[in-house]
Structure formats: C-alpha cells, structure tokens
Structure 1
Amino acid sequence: MKVGIIDADLIGRKKHRFPNLVSEKISAYWKEKGAEVELKLDYEDLDVYDHVYISKVFTDTPFPKNIVESDRIHMGGTGFYFDKAPNLPDEIEHHMPDYHLYDAWIDSEVEKARKNHDDNEEAEYQKLINNPEYDEKGKLIVYEKKDFDEVNCRSQFKEYTDYSIGFVTRGCFRKCPFCVNQKYDRVFRHSPIDEFYDPDRKKVCLLDDNVLGCPEWKSILTELINLKKPFKFKQGMDERLLTDEKCEMLFGANYDGDYTFAFDNISDYDLIHKKLQLIRKYTSATNIKFYVLVGFESTDAIDIENMWKRVALLMEYRCLPYIMRYQNKNDTPWKMSKYKGIYITMARWCNQPSFLKKMSFREYCLANQKRHKTEGTLCAAMRALTLFETEHPEIAKKYFDLKFK
C-alpha cells in the first residue's frame, strides 16, 4: 500500500510554518498498518498512490481545479468545506500523530538555506577580490566568510520539531457568524492529553476553540501544569469567560509565548474593559495579544472607527492588538472597500509589535513615506492615511497619534 499525503497550505502559502495535524494523524494511522507513506510537495503523478489525502486549512490557499475527490483521492479541512468539514474516522482522529512526517522536508529546506548562504558568501567574497575596497584609513577591507547558522535556521521549524499538538476540547457555544466552528453548541472534552503528548518534545500546543468554556477547564489546566512543560493555546481564548480563579491558574502557569484572546465585537467593549482590568490584576506581562476582527459587519468608516476603539483600549492596557481582516470561502470584503489601504496599513503597523510599540500610526506612515522612492508622490500608507483623514478628520484626530505607553 502506497499513501501520498499533501498539506495544501504548505505548498500554496509562502513561509507557511505550522504542521497539519490531520496529515500527521493520517500518516501515523497508515504507517501503523504497514503502508509506505510519503509527504508530497506537489500535485504531480498522483496515480502512483493507492490513496492520496489532501488537507487544506485556509480557504484562500490556491489549489488545482483539475483535482477532484474520488475513491482514491480524499480531500478535507476547513479550506475545502469551511464550516461543513466532515469529521475524521475515530481511529484516525484519536491516533497519536506522526511527528516525523515533515522531517525530510525540513532537512531539505535547511540544505537550501545553507546553499543560498554559501552562494551569497562566495559572491560577496569574489566581489571584494575583484574590486578591492578600503576603509576610511586606506586599509584594505578583508572579507571574512560567516559560517551557516543551522541552529537559527532550524528554529523557524520549531512548531514541527518542538511541540506535541492536539485538541483537549472541541466545540463552542458562541455560534459567531464569522467562525468556521459551527458544528456544536457546547464545549466538551475531546481527548486525553496523553493521546497526542510526546514526552520527548519540549512543549505542548493546544488547538482548542474555546477551552475556557469547557466545564472541565480546571482539570485541563491542572493536567497541563502538571506536565511541567511550557504550553500554549494557539487559538484565541475567550476572555469574556475569565474569572479570578481562571486568571490565577492561567497567568501563574509555565505558559509559552503570547497569551492570545479575541476582541471581535465592539458590542463587547464594556465587558472586555472589565476583563482587561481583571487580567492586569494578575499579571503585568507584555505578551498579552488580542485578535481584532475587522471588515465583517461593514467595510466603511464605522468599521474603521470601531477597529480603532478596540485598538485604543488594548493599547491603554498594554495589550497587543492583532488585526484580523475577515474573509469567507467566497470573498474578501475589505479588498472592495474604498478604505482598503487603511486595513492594509493598520495590519502592517499593529501586527508588528516593534512598530506598534515605537511609533504612532501617523509616525509609521511618515516613516514609510521617507523610504518611498518616487519623489513627489505619496506612498501607499500615506495615501491611505490622507484619504481617511480628509474624509473623517474627527476620527483621525482622536486616534492617529496614539502611542503605546
């Protein structure tokens, strides 16, 4: 039996750096049955496999139109079916993942990086040999080749190599219309941690949709804490469900990376404000991040203002906003907005903390203008700022000069 596994997002998205858990489970399932399993990095020669499994998470990941599902080709994931994605068979869903599925690909990527590094170093060396350069004192500049840093290169693949990954809960009761998680109206325990936990791996990554809404949240956090390894919930947690007890456990744990929440609706403003005060009662951590959904209810000035209201509140409590521009399986509304430039520029500013923490939105746009190469014209960021400020000066005056303190 020969099985091909295709992670469509890995092929179709630049710098995609997160393993497809379904692909890893399918691989482990078939390897256990003695099959020859291969991670395919293209869509060629699929007829040489007895079965081909193609998984896609993101709806906008490009995919060949000529490939269709059949008895031999199996396709799944939210990227294909959005909120109607079929469940995996239990024997695959609850199988320990194959954490080595991507090993050969990672090795290949490291070797490519090594070759590019060596080629660039040699090119720089030859340039100085053929065209000697001298410093300000007239001394010949000698080029010293730098060794390839394999450890640093491999660090970009840490999600593949360092983490045990899985779900301990499934479902959500919120039924948010923009969310793919529509199958269930409750949060329930899905699997024990040891179903996907590899003690040889340094950390644990949970993909749960709303773990804080599970009646067993306390026992789950206790189990994770007792592993004595850093852990994180990759999806945005529901801060509306935070209590003193939950905050004490969550912010006292050996947590890995950002605490990630979501601020999707302006209607939750007052409640989120109270929860931000609660968070700051238990931690002064600077790694508190909130997804900020935009472009869903509208893509007009009202949506831009509501985005800014949420961003300003998060900045007040030294939390990092991360702009999430809404898209569904059919279209991307913000791309049709007259304020498309604001959505793009806000995301570029907010989603890079090094910019957000050092400069206001206006300062960020001005910095882009200074790097603009075409003299006498505005860069894209300044065009976006100028258009919106001209039409809505009161909103711009209130928000465009805010600084992260």
Structure 2
Amino acid sequence: MKQQKRMLRVLAENRGFNPKVLKTLGKRLKVGIIDADLLDHGTRHPNLALEKIAGYCKSLGHEVRLICDYNELDIQLPFFPDSCDYDVLCLAQVFKFTKRPKEIDFLIKNHFIFYGGTGFLAEFDDDVKQLPNLPHEVEHHQPDYTLYDEYIQKQTGGDPKLIKRRFDDYVSYSIGFTTRGCIRQCAFCVNRELKKVVPWSPVSEFMDPKRPRIYLWDDNIMAAPAKVFKKVMEDLQATGKPFQFRQGMDIRLMTEEKAKLFAGVKYYGDYIFAFDHYRKDDAHEWKQVEQTIRGLEIWKKYVTKETKLYVLVAFDGLDYQDIEGAFWRIKILMEYGCLPYIMRFEDYKKSQYKILYTQLARWCNQPSFFKKMSFRQFCIRNEEYHQGIQQPIKNGKFSSRLKFPKGFTPKPTFCACYRAMIEFEEEHPEIAKKYYDLRFEDLKDTFKNRKL
C-alpha cells in the first residue's frame, strides 16, 4: 500500500503524462484509463491519446484497463488513495462541457491522476499554449485499439449489429495524424500551437493491418507542402485500405494536382471541406469566399463523388445577417451539387434565432430531407407531423403550403420548426423570399450560370 501511495503521489505538476514515472519502480503497475467524455455523454470516436498511452504502458509490461464506470474506482474521500485498486490513473477530456464527479476533481487537485486534453482549457485564446503534449515516445507509439473492448462488450452484449451501429469508429478504423499544424489560426479552433503544417507520423506507425479502414485527424492536410501532401496520399493508397480525413479540409487551397490525387484514391465516405466565410463587407472575408468558390470549381472538374462542406454559423454574429449568410452559402453549395453540414458555434444558444439555427441544422444535416425538400417544405412536413396529418406527395413533390384537410381541427400551437420559420419570415420577408423555396434538385450543378 505504501508503494501504491508513493506511485499516486509522484504525479508531479498535476497535468500531462510523464512516462518516466512508469519506469522508475521496476514493477508491474495497474494503470486505470478514464475517458471523461465517454463516461459523461458518450462519444462517437475513441480517444486517440488514451489509446496511445495504453499502448505505451502495455509495451512496458504494465496492466492497463479502461474504467467503464466511475463507481469502479470506489473513491472514498478523504481516505484515497488507500481505497484505490490502481497504481496509476490517467484521464483525458476533449469537451469543456463534459461533467466530472467531484471525487475526480479532488484527485486532479491533489495530484493523484494524470490528466490532459482540450476539455481543460478555460478559454481557447489564452490557454492554447498551456495544453500538455504527449511525450514523443508516447505520441509516436502505436495505439492500443483494444482499449475500449470491455466497454463495448458491456454496452452491446457483443451484438455485431449494435457494435456496427454504435461503435464502428472504435472497431473498424486505424486512427492517426500524418501531419500536424495549420496556417489559418482560426479563432474558433484549439489547434493553434503549430502555425505551419509539418509531417507527423508515417501511416505504418498507427495502422493496424486487421482493421479494414483508416481515418485521419490532420489539422489541415491541404496546407501541407506539395511533396508532403503527395507522399501522404501515396502512402495511404499503398495500404489498399479505404481512408478519409475527418476534419473539414481547406478547399481554399485546392489545386489541380490535389484534386487529381483525391480523384484517384480509395476514399471512404463523403469528402468533407469547410465553408466558413460569407461577409461581403469585409475585404479579407470576401477573399476567403472567392478562394472557396475557386476551389469548388477546380474540385468539380475531377471529382463526382458526394461532397460535403461544413457551414459554420453563430460565430461571426448572432443576428439575422448570420442567418442570411448561412442561407447564401447553402444556395451556393446547392448550385455546386454539394451538401451543407451546419456547424453551430456554441453561442447560437444566446441568439434570438436559436431555434431557427437548430431547424437549419436539422434540414441540412439530414441529406434525405435536404435533397428532396426546400426549407419551407421541410418545416411544413414537420408541422404536418405535429398535427397528425398525412398529406399525399404528388409526383414526388412536397407541398409548399400548409393545408388542413376539410373538417380537420388543428392543434392550437405550431411546432417549433414551423413557428421559427414563419416568425423569421414575418420579420425578414425579403430573406425568406430569396431562400425558403430553393430546392437542391432544381439547383444542383447549375454553378456555371451562377453570379456572386
């Protein structure tokens, strides 16, 4: 027990991960891994840093286990660590809204646990440089892709269909960074430590031959030097495995050569880029718009596969102009045959249009709706569902007007979707007139006739 107390108290500086600690005692340690985001609200993706820590610890001969429930730790304050069954505890948190038990905060405060991750940033602008990095030997260790197996088994009972539906990213992909860094330094992004793009890990470093696919978390692969970009694409293609970049790629940096390379690889799923800018009254902003559109025009020459662009909203403003900026970008993407994906900056909740932001996201982020309905039709269908009405669809077309069947007594209140639509239209009829009735199938691939 004395050895265990010494081990837990030697976690100096109360943040980051210090591999020297794991080598000093010369004994097999029991290491507990905590994914704070997973235990609070669940996550779509595994935590790559924790998988690397687990892989590194196992390579030293230590026993490693993912904590599947905080209750497993049996944290009895103030008697900790006497009540703890682990020699070392490591915790990572990606999202700052993730909630932790007060007992875990006690461990952090009293140096009983290694911790790190962007979720510990108080403010993006001030604390980016304070983020602890994984030591080189851990950062470049192959991840332990079995780390989450016990948790997945408990959540699904081993049902293959349930595993595929809920945990495919955990079991089907090798994950890594081929490059790190970004030239943009966007105010909304936490990855601003490196101001240029540098090679990071060869694909072989993180690829598991048994996993069928690969995905990459590169901050801005499009900003990589031409030789680096080409080498990464060739190395990925040489694996024979389908791959994808998960971050919204920077289409402003598209070139003929890059488009040709993308068109010739074994890409999995949608290509995803970003369309963050819209303001015409700012010269710098408008230049970004022009570069985005130029990139789209190059892209469409070579790639026919479905393409999606993140549309950031509620960051530059929370007023009607930001709503109009979102619709304007959606229209352009319709004309290029691309799908928008609305990314709501967290401040959208402070806007008088927060419900409208949500409905825009519901419409755009579900391609089965977006491809078939205008925004007005989408809101009408929601209201019909709310009222319990099943209107016939004539010739595959949805109604652009809410109609109640003869003798039908409607509910006294509208659904949130329909109400947000009509309230904004009453306040800004000129914007509604320009955008509410636009349909993807009518505008698709009409960009050659478009004028800014």
TM-score (norm 2): 0.77
Equivalent pair of 1:269/1:310 in contact (CA under 8 Å): no
Distance 2:152 2:48 in 1: 16
3-state DSSP of counterpart to 1:48: coil
Matches of 2:68 and 2:242, distance apart in 1: 31
Partner of 2:386, secondary structure, is coil
Letter in 2 for 1:89: P
2:289 aligned with 1:269, yes or no? yes
The aligned runs of 1:343-362 (5 Å cut-off) are: 343-362=357-376
The structure 1 residue matched to 2:143, chosen from 97, 103, 109, is 97
Residue 3 of structure 1: aligned partner = 31
Of 202, 205, 217, which aligns to 2:229? Answer: 217
Say which SS state the counterpart of residue 440 (structure 2) adopts: coil
Q: Deviations over 1:246-294 (max 9, x none)?
A: 00001221001111111111132222222111111002222x1111111
* Deviation, structure 1 residue 152: 2.5
Matches within 5 A, 1:32-71: 32-44=59-71, 45=73, 47-68=84-105, 69=108, 70-71=110-111
Q: Secondary structure at the match of 1:371?
A: helix
Cα root mean square deviation, aligned: 1.5
- Select which of 30, 52, 55 maps to 1:25: 52
Q: Give the Cα separation in 2 of the matches to 1:392 and 1:48.
A: 62
Which string of whole-angstrom CA distances, capped at 9 and with x for unpartnered residues, describes residues 113-165 of structure 1? x8xxxxxxxxxxxxxxxxxxxxxxxxxxxxxxxxxxx4422212221111111
Distance 2:99 2:437 in 1: 38
1:278 aligns with 2:298: yes
Q: Which residue of 1 aligns with 2:162?
A: 153
Instruction: Determine if the alignment matches structure 1 residue 86 to structure 2 residue 132.
Output: yes
Q: Which amino acid aligns with 2:115?
A: M
2:404 corresponds to 1:395:
no
* Number of the residue aligned with 1:74: 114
Could you tell me which of 135, 143, 153 is aligned with 1:107?
A: 153
Q: In the TM superposition, what is the alpha-carbon distance from 1:65 to its structure 2 partner?
A: 4.1
Query: What is the CA-CA distance between 1:27 and the residue it aligns to?
Result: 0.9
Equivalent residue number for residue 315 of structure 1: 334
Is residue 248 of structure 1 aligned with residue 248 of structure 2?
no
Structure 1 stretches lacking a partner, 5+ long: 115-149, 328-332
For residues 299 and 255 of structure 2, what CA distance do their matches in structure 1 show?
Answer: 9
> Which consecutive unaligned segments of at least 5 residues does structure 2 have?
1-28, 76-83, 279-284, 388-409, 442-452
On the 8 A contact 1:321/1:350 being kept in 2, the answer is yes
Give the residue type in structure 1 aligned to 2:296. L
Deviation for aligned residue 1:30: 1.1
Q: Percent identity between the aligned chains? A: 48
> Equivalents in 1 of 2:161, 2:438: separation in Å?
35
Which secondary structure does the structure 1 equivalent of 2:156 belong to? helix
Letter in 2 for 1:236: G
Task: Tell me the alpha carbon deviations over residues 29-86 of structure 1, each in whole angstroms, 9 at most, x when there is no partner.
Answer: 1112222211112223253222211111122222234423243312111111253421
Distance in 2, Cα, partners of 1:340 & 1:180: 24
Report the secondary structure of 1:372's partner residue.
Answer: helix
Q: Which stretch has the larger CA shift, 365-374 or 242-251?
A: 365-374
Structure-2 residue corresponding to 1:135? none
Offset at residue 180 of structure 1 (A): 0.8
The amino acid that maps onto 1:399 is Y
